[in-house]
Structure 1
Amino acid sequence: MGKSRTKRFKRPQFSPTGNCQAEAAAAENGEEDDDGPAAELLEKLQHPTAEVRECACAGLARLVQQKPVLPGLARRDAVRRLGPLLLDPSLAVRETAAGALRNLSACGGFEICDDMVTKDVMTPLVALLKECSAGLDSNEMSPQEKKDQSKNSIENIANEAVNVLWNICECSSRAVSIFNKEGCLEIVLKYLSRFSTNVDLAISVAHCLQTVTEDNPELLKSFSATVLQVLESAMLCPVSSMEYILLKTLVAGTIWNLKDVIPSKSQAEIINAILKILSEVLEMDAGEIVIRMKEAETQRLKTAAETEETLKNVNGDDLIEDVEMEEIPHKRKVRRKNFVSDLLPPTDKELRETIAVLTAQQTALEIVVNMCFSEDPSDDEWEELSSSDESDACMENSFSECGGQLLSPLCLSHEIHSALTNCLIPKKVFEKTASPNKVALDICSRNPTWKPLIRKMNTIQCRALVCLQSLVSLLDVDHLGGVPALQTLSQHLSQLLFSQPDFAKHDDFLEAISGALRALLQTMASKNISQCMTPDQLMAFCKAGIHSSNIGVRVNVVSILGITGSVLAKEAGTLETLKTIGHFLLEVATKDPSLVVAGEALDALFDVFADGEEAEKASVQIKLLSALKEFQPVFKMKIRKEGRGKYSPDQLCVLDNVKMNLRRFVAYQETVEKRLTS
């Protein structure tokens, strides 16, 4: 298997506030036509009044979250119209324009981001980042004026702009190249250095840096000792809120990406520091944090409501003057509102901090996965670049003829190996594979603003399963806790799987657990360790998984049957089970629309029926030889006709080896059948 690439999930998006709310809401519900909100809002971007331009940007920020409107906005050149507003004379317009572009880049995906680069959004964006950087250092105003009037606005604008930069760089290599050439590293590092006073901005920068430092040797040349010191300071900063936990985790991921420029004498120390942070993050109980934070929010709202009621009784509807309420920012004079929430800060601290912890845990698991591999495969479809583990050895020579090793090689240096085990990473990853806390899930399901956290908790479980797959494939049995630990893990995965009768409906979970199970069964089979899942259970799982639209799931389930069958082939009394497995794999090999899955199924057949008396009897009874002889020319034709257009060179290399092994296996089966029928 190749490496699971770190994937981005959408960040909290820009939400318009103030007088723009009504127009933005109207835009959200509008139709996408020439006379609809999109055309009207784009027209208002050129209005001479700053407030109108601001409201238009805010409306677009809401509108772009609806995918059906994106093609229309592209046709109307929304990017070229929004881009210049990043340098608008009004700071408010700059912020809302950046917010609209942030949402567009987050919701639009790779194509939209690439189009944004083509439409030259990077020119005003980089200029804005430079102006914000200069503005934060400006001495033209008095310190108090700077604090009250511009500092927060400039930092807010910078935060939106950095998020746009992050989104685009994550999707476009051209954007990364511009990042390198325009010296954006120096700019964003200045923002990161403000982590003690603006953690939100620092987190956005850390996300961006983790993205642009991955596989970017040109940028690595710019990382001097001074730059590394800024990162080190952020990584080692004291934790005053849960958001700082996320910041430290993201910076740890960035420093891992920079390992090639870190002096060799410091490598072990840096790796230990990174894994210590990841260990501390993974040790936190996300479910308990959700429960505790929701209770804190409930208590805060109750206290605020009681305070408001008291003030209402004392003052009636008069102006509440000089009220020093902790819940009211800046202790400013406010008129009594109709709702308690109107007296609260615009962001909910408890929810923000909970999201920060969950994001930190997801990021930590992704970093551990990345540590286990030396490089990414040539494309993102890592799950399709696989062949059965046991057939790798017999194909080794053929792989070398294809220009080197096919898959990303497992890479675990002594320093990383020691740090992983010393920090108890395998144990903590194992714990994170458990289903999310039911009480926490119930709390989130009953609160609309907390409901998105359910997906985050499920994502953490899936990331943990992917991480578990990597660790099981890499570490010695002793470092995984010995034979009892692997048997316990086998039982745990079985319970995890069959406790969810509708598991086949959840592709992410199914892909993650099938990959983990495949790696575990392979390790246990290689060490002759018995496991608790019965062949019937595995068969039921594979029958459900083979109908998944996800190619990675289908590859995993046929590999699982190949591993299971190869073990059973050496045991007595397994004839009927082997026949069932053989029929299943033959059907997949001959009927699955993906050549990658078909090739994996053939590999699995080779493994199951390569040796053993029971396997030989089963192969004759299911007429394996005649079925494979009939399919052999069909498989060759499919490779010739479909291969070049649909599959990568690496995948074609695997398929060519399968084709060669099929020829050898048919010859072997001819000798088996001749011997058994003579």
Structure 2
Amino acid sequence: MCVRSLRIIFKFNAEGLSVNAVKEVEVDHDEVCDGIDSPAGELLEKLQNPSADMREFACASISRVVQQSQTIPAFLQRDAVRRLGPLLLDRSLAVRETATGALRNLSACGGHEVCEDMVKQDVMTPLTALLRECCAGFETNPTLSLKEQKNPVEDVANEAVNLLWNLCESSSQALCVFNKAGLLDVILQCLERHTNNIQLALSAAHCLHTVTEDNAELLCSMNNAVLGSLESVLLSSETAMAHILLKTLAAGSLWNLKSSLPTARQAQTLNALVATLSQCLELDAGTLIPQLHQAEVSCSAPSSEAGEMDDHQAVAEDMGVEEMEDEEGGGQARRDEKATKMDKDFSDLLPRGKEELREATALLTAQQTSLEIIVNMCCSDDPSDDEWEEASSSDESEMCPDGLSEGNTSLLSPLCLSAEVHGALINHNIPEKVLRKTQFPSTEAMDVCRQNPTWKILMKKMHRVQYRALTCLHNMLSTMDAESLGGAAALQAVAQHLSTLVFSASDIPKEEEFLEAVTSAMRSLLQIIASMKIPQCFTPQQLITLSEAATRCDVVSVRVNAVAILGITGSTLAKEKGTSETLQMIGNALLQVATKDANLVVCGEALDALFDVFADGDEAEKAAKNISLLSALKALQPVFKAKIRKEGKGKYSPEQMCVLDNIKVNLRRFIGYLEIVVKK
């Protein structure tokens, strides 16, 4: 390595990335040129140094270096986890904090496999002891005033909670230890510090939101005191954005714990929960972000503003913030959706004094989290139309002329949600507020962030709010009746809005996360519009263009949505006069996918759509003959069967195989139907 000095920044945020305190550390020029292994070995050796300052320096150095993932193997090969673990209980608080931060960075930057390995190396034992000592220290070292004096024990606790959060998010074994060690009480103690230390409370709330999801064992630990702590946060009158985020995370935890709520409190808690989400979504980030930026500009001297920008750019580049934003998990939320991995609040990465930017970050994180909670609330326990692997979209005994099979009607059922959830969402105008978020981000807010380096990191977060809103819209269309959503006029307005989002530019947007969310929403909307025979504003050519763009996407669910959209459109057009030419275009597009797509799920959905489009009607019969559909399917049939036989069992789940086998049967029957049509 050829760097004469290395800048070590420690004090870690939710990703384990450091910011507030900066030390200049001299590294010998010749040492760095020897490669990654040499510094790893030397830094790990320094962990045993009798000097607390040297141990602190070594921990801070390790935390900085492991932020570049290619350095991590060198540390793991030298037993870094077992060497750092004892320092979590070092006699020096500063060493405890930096050692915990180093492990936190290792867990955040190393990913799931590294987290699993850390748990196997028993990092949970010293971490559990550290958390308990920290909580005991809250009382023996009380904070006099948040602004005047911070309890150093709380800084250590914040690192420890974030490390615990990372581990429990990635490792089922860590979650098991969390349950058995009774760490829920520790996290609640940290949460209850929200009046004095909002950052620690937020870390605890994030962790709690993670560990309460799909954790049946933890439900046994629930009692009125636990629920009371969460409800007290939920009912707080604080209006700062950090507190809005805190209340949103508490709402998410309560939703995860809903089965533990006493019957007498369920209605009241549900109403408070939805009210919290509603208040969060009511905030207009498109207006607030420019206002917050203007407030920052007004309060900052030009020279200090420029300096802070330089500091932040250096930090952002050093810490790889934009890279981590790129790596955030995207996929479409489904019935068992978890909050997106590695999509955490990075507000304490920001330089001191950037309070307005912290506020904006907290607001966007809160709104994204609110939408993710609503996604989970608006989910049926029955298989929905987009969950291809769980239900066939064509029952082999039914070829419904409208393209909707009996096995697929949950999408249209108004009874998928409980009456209580349905009522709460409607009473707080959640559908309207979700739709408003699909229009975000505003041009003004994007311009502010685009033109200011320190605010540029918010652009992806703003887009992600829109993506979650579109997914939320999809789930609401799938589980709520049309009248609850405003009736035919409102659905037409939604269609017009989605048309503007997708078709206003000269090219279809290529962002995968956007395509996944918007095609899901359009699929659900077209399904409900078709069932109600409502005129819609999409032209067949627009939908064909969208589907062509989507079928080139690497994400399987986007391609599945694309062919489903063509199927719904075609089955509707088949009932109208003079549509055979359009049906031919749709049929050719579906045949192309069914023949050439590498994924059998997509091929199956394309065949399913062909069955729907050409199942009945004079126009469909005419189009089928013009594109030689019968001969094309006969040629495809043995290839499809062979692929199922060769690829199926090793590559696809039993549920998917069941659907594929069903489609294989339907293909044979549909070929028989077309043979009869040809003989007419």
Matching residue of 1:44: 46
Matching residue of 1:177: 176
Matching residue of 1:194: 193
Structure 1 pair 413/581, CA: closer, same or farther in 2 (3 Å)?
Answer: same
1:49-64 correspondence runs (5 A):
49-64=51-66
One-letter amino acid of the counterpart of residue 460, structure 2: R
One-letter amino acid of the counterpart of residue 102, structure 1: R
One-letter amino acid of the counterpart of residue 191, structure 2: L
Aligned mate of 1:650, from 655, 661, 675 = 655
In 1, Cα distance between equivalents of 2:621 and 2:472: 37
Shift in Å, 1:301:
1.3
In 1, Cα distance between equivalents of 2:92 and 2:197: 22
Matching residue of 1:352: 358
Structure 1 pair 375/213, CA: closer, same or farther in 2 (3 Å)?
Answer: farther
Aligned mate of 1:85, from 64, 84, 87 = 87
1:541-620 correspondence runs (5 A):
541-620=546-625
Contact 1:395-1:657 at 8 Å conserved across structures:
no
Q: For each residue in 1:558-603, what CA deviation from the matched residue of structure 2 results, as whole angstroms up to 9, or x when unmatched?
A: 0000000000111111111111111111110111000110111111
Shift in Å, 1:152:
2.0
1:156-175 correspondence runs (5 A):
156-175=155-174
Aligned mate of 1:457, from 447, 455, 462 = 462
Q: Answer yes or no: is 1:628 the counterpart of 2:623.
A: no
Matching residue of 1:417: 422
Match of 1:194, SS state, is helix
1:311-326 correspondence runs (5 A):
none
Q: Answer yes or no: is 1:20 the counterpart of 2:23.
A: yes
Contact 1:281-1:360 at 8 Å conserved across structures:
yes
In 2, Cα distance between equivalents of 1:425 and 1:145: 38
Structure 1 pair 142/368, CA: closer, same or farther in 2 (3 Å)?
Answer: closer
* 37-46 or 446-455, larger mean C-alpha shift: 37-46
Q: Answer yes or no: is 1:109 the counterpart of 2:135.
A: no
Q: For each residue in 1:388-443, what CA deviation from the matched residue of structure 2 results, as whole angstroms up to 9, or x when unmatched?
A: 756599499xxxxx9xx99x998410001111111000000000001411121121
Match of 1:20, SS state, is strand
One-letter amino acid of the counterpart of residue 359, structure 1: T
Paired-residue identity, %:
56
* 410-419 or 351-360, larger mean C-alpha shift: 410-419
One-letter amino acid of the counterpart of residue 164, structure 1: L
Contact 2:379-2:479 at 8 Å conserved across structures:
no
One-letter amino acid of the counterpart of residue 275, structure 2: K
Q: Answer yes or no: is 1:487 the counterpart of 2:492.
A: yes
In 2, Cα distance between equivalents of 1:614 and 1:654: 29
In 2, Cα distance between equivalents of 1:486 and 1:472: 9
Matching residue of 2:478: 473
Q: How many residues are matched? A: 614
Contact 2:145-2:196 at 8 Å conserved across structures:
no
Contact 2:414-2:479 at 8 Å conserved across structures:
no
Structure 1 pair 280/31, CA: closer, same or farther in 2 (3 Å)?
Answer: farther
In 2, Cα distance between equivalents of 1:251 and 1:114: 27
1:107-506 correspondence runs (5 A):
107-138=109-140, 152-302=151-301, 346-373=352-379, 385=389, 389=393, 394=398, 411-501=416-506, 503-506=508-511
One-letter amino acid of the counterpart of residue 85, structure 1: L
Aligned mate of 2:540, from 511, 524, 535 = 535
Shift in Å, 1:646:
1.1
One-letter amino acid of the counterpart of residue 45, structure 1: L
Structure 1 pair 268/97, CA: closer, same or farther in 2 (3 Å)?
Answer: same
Provide the TM-score with structure 2 as the length reference. 0.85
Matching residue of 2:74: 72
Contact 1:42-1:56 at 8 Å conserved across structures:
yes
Matching residue of 1:7: none
Shift in Å, 1:23:
5.8
Structure 1 pair 538/146, CA: closer, same or farther in 2 (3 Å)?
Answer: closer
Q: For each residue in 1:306-339, what CA deviation from the matched residue of structure 2 results, as whole angstroms up to 9, or x when unmatched?
A: 9x9xxxxxxxxxxxxxxxxxxxxxxxxxxxxxxx
In 1, Cα distance between equivalents of 2:553 and 2:84: 41
One-letter amino acid of the counterpart of residue 623, structure 2: A
Structure 1 pair 206/503, CA: closer, same or farther in 2 (3 Å)?
Answer: farther
In 1, Cα distance between equivalents of 2:480 and 2:560: 23
Contact 1:517-1:560 at 8 Å conserved across structures:
yes
Contact 2:198-2:243 at 8 Å conserved across structures:
yes
Match of 1:195, SS state, is helix
In 2, Cα distance between equivalents of 1:112 and 1:285: 39
Q: For each residue in 1:505-539, what CA deviation from the matched residue of structure 2 results, as whole angstroms up to 9, or x when unmatched?
A: 21001111011110100110011011101001111
Q: For each residue in 1:583-627, what CA deviation from the matched residue of structure 2 results, as whole angstroms up to 9, or x when unmatched?
A: 111110111000110111111111101111111111122111121
Shift in Å, 1:281:
0.5
Contact 2:56-2:98 at 8 Å conserved across structures:
yes
In 2, Cα distance between equivalents of 1:547 and 1:359: 31
In 1, Cα distance between equivalents of 2:111 and 2:644: 32
Q: Note the residue ranges of structure 1 that are not aligned, 5 or more in a row.
A: 1-9, 309-343, 397-401
Contact 1:20-1:59 at 8 Å conserved across structures:
no
One-letter amino acid of the counterpart of residue 652, structure 1: M
Provide the TM-score with structure 1 as the length reference. 0.85
In 2, Cα distance between equivalents of 1:144 and 1:536: 67
Structure 1 pair 68/505, CA: closer, same or farther in 2 (3 Å)?
Answer: farther
Matching residue of 1:330: none
One-letter amino acid of the counterpart of residue 419, structure 1: A
One-letter amino acid of the counterpart of residue 18, structure 2: S
In 1, Cα distance between equivalents of 2:151 and 2:656: 52
Match of 1:86, SS state, is helix
Structure 1 pair 456/564, CA: closer, same or farther in 2 (3 Å)?
Answer: same
Structure 1 pair 394/41, CA: closer, same or farther in 2 (3 Å)?
Answer: farther
Structure 1 pair 613/444, CA: closer, same or farther in 2 (3 Å)?
Answer: same
Q: Answer yes or no: is 1:96 the counterpart of 2:94.
A: no
Contact 1:57-1:96 at 8 Å conserved across structures:
yes
Q: Note the residue ranges of structure 2 that are not aligned, 5 or more in a row.
A: 1-12, 308-349, 401-406
Matching residue of 1:311: none
One-letter amino acid of the counterpart of residue 551, structure 1: V
Shift in Å, 1:552:
0.9
Q: For each residue in 1:117-144, what CA deviation from the matched residue of structure 2 results, as whole angstroms up to 9, or x when unmatched?
A: 1121111111110110111122xx7987
Q: For each residue in 1:49-76, what CA deviation from the matched residue of structure 2 results, as whole angstroms up to 9, or x when unmatched?
A: 2222222222222222222223333333
* 112-121 or 593-602, larger mean C-alpha shift: 112-121
Shift in Å, 1:490:
0.6
* 564-573 or 72-81, larger mean C-alpha shift: 72-81
One-letter amino acid of the counterpart of residue 361, structure 1: Q
Structure 1 pair 23/235, CA: closer, same or farther in 2 (3 Å)?
Answer: farther
Contact 2:142-2:151 at 8 Å conserved across structures:
no
Shift in Å, 1:345:
7.6
One-letter amino acid of the counterpart of residue 119, structure 1: Q
Shift in Å, 1:155:
0.5
Q: For each residue in 1:631-659, what CA deviation from the matched residue of structure 2 results, as whole angstroms up to 9, or x when unmatched?
A: 11211221121111111122112212211
Shift in Å, 1:265:
2.7
In 2, Cα distance between equivalents of 1:452 and 1:146: 28
